Structure 1
Amino acid sequence: MPLFVIAGRANCPLFVHAIQIANYLSEHLPDIIINKQEFYGEEWSDFLLDINSTNSWYITKSPVIWKEVGFAGSKPHLIGGLSEFWEYIDDYYGTKTFLDRKAVAELCSQNMKAYTEKNLLSAKEKLKSSVIGMYGFNNDFAQMLLPELFNVHGLFEKNMVTIKIYDPESLRDPDTEDEVRSIMESYEREIQAHVKYELLFSTTISFFIENTDFILITEDYSQKEEEDRSTWLKRCSLDMNELATEINDTGGEHLKILCCHLGPVCFTATALTLHIKEKYHNNIIAVTAYEGLKALSSVSKLTDIPISHLAAPPVWGFVGLDQFVDVQGVIVIQDIIRPYKRALKDVRDSTLPQKKVRKELRMLSCIVNQRNFENSVIKRCNQYSILGRKPILPLLRATLHLLELWSSPKKAADVVISLGVHSDGSFGIPQKIVFSQPVTLNDKNIWVPFDKLPIFDQSHREIEKCIKFTSDLMQLIADCF
């Protein structure tokens, strides 16, 4: 059964004319199927570039028509434009029909109106729903993250939420889907109070990416015992290359990608940026603040400052392979009493307020002697690796906090956190790599370096070491990309 695919610009008279001919054939010859693909503006240019590159064609004008025999998606046989299509159907089917210019112009106007209304309806429906994808699920972190997502209110402000899960290893185990669904059922009553949701297990990457708003890369990319560094990083890079290729083909315009996994998060994010379209570069983020969160508990114990009064220190470096947690940069949130003038008059039995309590931010280095303190914190943080523990809980907290901020930009106003972002050269960091640094969210909902952060000389030297390590490493592992 032949399938004719007719692609073109929605406002192109030749495209509309070709569709009219194809519909006539379909009505009179029931074994013929017509697939219409219409585009407008830059969509058409991008489509043309992709299809010419894929099939080694050299089409420059609308429409482009080809034939697929047997089933959709089979090898395409190029027919050409409208003139070639006319010749084809005349030779093959002996069919002749004519439309005058006025009729074609009327059809073109009607088609453009229908195209606009369809896209408007699609846009309205999309505003009412959101899609979250989890890439990798067969690990403790991903399975802990899934139910916690429903506590991120910014992700569930819409009427309908779809959660897609893609994990080839889990898909090979038929019991995995049943187990996840049973877990979700235990949260059913609480979740349904938040939002109506749908849970889908994707069997293909293309379906997983299509119409998705947030992709959370939650696969466990920790180094395996039998792997050397080169083999390990090549494995991670190949996965990111495959994912980037699919995103280039089917990803939405405003897709956000979070590398929030165990392993070399800055490396995987960098690998993505090297293969993905440039428009996505600022939307690829590596979650790195968890390295700083590991230090907060130690700082609190050593200083007797409540952990609720501490803000995570800046995290620098190619996290997962090399990083520097600037303990001197821990922020202490102090309550400061500011007395009113009336308090100085010592008016007895006055019921008027005498003072105001305000929050003031101070750096830990202004309060604590750093020499022995920093070494103690580093030793405590290293217990994770010494005991073989994976930092799942700090990573979970950092990921949820980031999602809350990124999905509700008003909450992120004036907030400074540590993230791996695509470097623009700030702080002397080489460009075209994802490097952890202090960032803030700008008015375009893009995370940008916060270059006003004060940095001590000792910390600056450690940051330069991280930059040199990363530059040298990128040269050594160039073949991993």
Structure 2
Amino acid sequence: MAKFVLAGRTDCPVYAKAELLADRLECCLPNFQIHKMSILPDEWKQWLEATCRKNGWKHKDSPLVWRELVDQGGKGMLLGGFSEFLEHCQDYYDITSDMSEEEMRSIAAENLEAKMTFLEEQRQRASLINPLHMLIGSALSPKCLFLIPNLLSGEALPSVSLISLHLLDLDGSEEDLQQLKRDTEELAFPRLHQVIVHSDVQRAFQKADIVILLDDAPSDSSGPEEEDEDEEDVEKRKVRRISERYREYGRMIDEGASKEVKVIVAPDSYANLACSLLLENAPTVDSSRFVAVSTQLENEARAVLAKKLDVKTSDVTDVIVWGNVSSSFYVDLQRAKVYNCDGAISGPSFFSQPVLKIIHEREWLETDFPDLVRSQRATLASKTSRAAAMSSTNGILTILKAWNGLCHPDEVFSLGVMCSGHFDLPEGIVFSVPVTFKDGEWSVFKRVTVKEELEDRLQLLASEIAEEKELASEDTKRTEDTEDS
């Protein structure tokens, strides 16, 4: 079977003549196949150069004709331009072309008009499809192995019919991102509209409806200079890198994302600072659209309590995490409840008891419990840990579900949000506080008692977060002064 590929510039008269000759061959020869490729005039040169480079050919004009070796495999065999194609048809099939130049130009004009009409119809059809645009930053993080399938399954976003998944990783390679794209497409989720890999940060955030940022302080390969750094220098360097990246992300969100975007910040370190930097650099987007996930901390604390009480982790609820998601925090049990606890008082499955009335060991609560939670956090801190990725992913999905109305309005979550005077916390910092969700919006849950001891703890945590933010501001100012000079 003879299979030829005929490619040419849409408005090329010679390409039109070659088309008619190919059509005649197909009519006369049942085993002759031709595949036509009509390339727009402004795209022709780039397409031709790329095709010739890929196949090791040399060709300059329109059209380009080659033969596909369908029975042998391998790359195609270059035939040449129109003259070579005509000569081949005359020698092998005794068929020629006698089209006039006027006919060639007329058909070329019709080709261009038909191509433009086809493209316009494609654009109109595409405009009728309105997928949800979701961007994941640091998409090569191990968390995404758990996150992507769950996002596309529909469990967290049941009302969304189509998702355009955008992948960005400024520290990863294009090859690895393309492999992740292929792996994602092979999952064959019906909700997946397309997967787009980005190297351009600005384009990545265009029209984004949901942004999930996992970026930690980028690794540095500067080498020996880092060996002599003390702990303070290392922290400053990490803060500087986080600051640079999240300030840029904030500007891109402000310029290109939907004004109703939902931004979920969930790195392993500096989550509060990262969220705060986004807010500073996205002034036209409402601050309520940015949150730092502390749910994984909350779940880890619940797991410690569940083990102590010999119940399932899901039987412990309403644990509150205050403070800095990735650093200094305080686990508050004043509202914590436990279900299905085998104690002096028991009841049906919907019966709960306050945790503080079940656990009477004050020393354990004040000393062992915080240490166990921090130990649990340290165990899960490694980036290579599958457990860490699972825990973080579960926290992200929990908040995403709640944000999309998949929770009871009385359910309390811990969430890093911008302070606006609640609990007498200083304004302008991102602080983990108790919140509830209703109708797709979160609000600070204020039915908690903040006594003097707790207030002192919160102020101390707030001051540490403020210092972290000040360190980032100083570094940014220093960078700007250096650039100006």
Identify whether the pair has TM-score above 0.5, normalized to the shorter chain: yes
The aligned residue for residue 255 of structure 2 is 249
Q: Shift in Å at residue 152 of structure 1?
A: 4.4
Q: Name the amino acid aligned to 2:431.
A: F
Q: Superposed, which structure 2 residues align to 1:66-145 within 5 Å?
A: 125=128, 128-145=130-147
**The residue matched to 2:171 in structure 1 has which SS?**
helix
Change (3 A) 1:480 1:334: farther
Using the alignment, how far apart are the partners of 1:232 and 1:207 within structure 2?
Answer: 26
* Structure 1: gaps spanning 5 or more residues: 1-29, 32-120, 337-355
Q: 2:441: which partner in 1?
A: 446
In the alignment, which residue of structure 1 is the partner of 2:368?
A: 376
Does residue 406 (structure 1) correspond to residue 398 (structure 2)? The answer is no
Percent of pairs with identical residues: 17
Question: 1:312 deviation in Å?
Answer: 5.2
1:77-97 per-position Cα deviation (integer Å, ceiling 9, x unaligned): xxxxxxxxxxxxxxxxxxxxx
Residue 11 of structure 2: aligned partner: none
Corresponding residue SS for 1:321: coil
- What is the distance in 2 between the residues matched to 1:203 and 1:476? 29
Residue 439 of structure 1 aligns to a residue whose secondary structure is: strand
Scaled by the length of structure 1, the TM-score of the pair is 0.63
Q: Secondary structure at the match of 2:350?
A: strand
Alignment of 1:175-194 (within 5 A): 176-185=176-185, 187-188=187-188, 191-192=189-190
Take 1:182 and 1:124, find their aligned partners in 2: how far apart are those partners? 25
Note if contact 2:335-2:354 (Cα within 8 Å) is conserved in structure 1: yes
Q: 1:169 to 1:467 in 2, by over 3 A?
A: closer
Paired residue for 1:73?
Answer: none
Q: Give the whole-Å Cα distance in 2 for the aligned partners of 1:264 and 1:398.
A: 16
CA distance, structure 1, for counterparts of residue 295 and residue 143 of structure 2 = 16
* Cα drift, residue 470 of structure 1: 2.8
Determine the structure 1 residue equivalent to 2:389.
392
Kept in 1: contact 2:131–2:193 (CA 8 A): no
Deviation at 1:462, TM superposition (A): 2.3
- In the alignment, is the contact (CA less than 8 A) between 2:254 and 2:285 conserved in 1? no
Structure 1 counterpart of 2:166? 164
CA distance in 1, matches of 2:193, 2:408: 26
Q: Which residue is equivalent to 2:301?
A: 295
Partner of 1:346: none
2:236 alignment partner in structure 1: 230
Q: CA deviation at 1:236?
A: 0.6
Residue 480 of structure 1 and its aligned partner are, at CA, apart by 3.6
Q: Distance in 1 between matches of 2:165 and 2:284?
A: 26
The one of 265, 276, 287 aligned to 1:270? 276
Say whether the 8 Å CA contact 2:271–2:292 is kept in structure 1.
yes
Query: Does the CA contact (< 8 Å) of 2:185 and 2:195 recur in 1?
Result: no
CA deviations on 1:209-250 (whole Å, 9 max, x unpaired) are 112110000223389886621211111111111112222221
Corresponding residue of 2:427: 431
| Aligned 8 A contact 1:212 1:252 in 2 | yes
Give yes or no for contact 1:334–1:362 (8 Å, CA) kept in 2.
Answer: no
Q: 1:373 to 1:186 in 2, by over 3 A?
A: farther
Asked if structure 1 preserves the Cα contact closer than 8 Å seen for 2:429 and 2:465, the reply is: no
Contact 1:406 1:412 in 2 (8 A): no
CA contact (8 A) 2:273 2:468 kept: no
Matched, 1:307 2:313: yes
Letter in 2 for 1:403: L
Q: Deviations over 1:249-294 (max 9, x none)?
A: 2121211111022111111001111111243311011001211211
Distance 2:297 2:340 in 1: 23
C-alpha distance in 2, partners of 1:232/1:294?
Answer: 26
1:153 aligned residue: 155
Instruction: Work out which of the residue numbers 187, 190, 206 in structure 1 matches 2:202.
Output: 206
2:396 counterpart letter in structure 1: T
Gap change, CA 1:365 and 1:466, over 3 Å in 2:
same
CA distance in 2, matches of 1:256, 1:387: 30
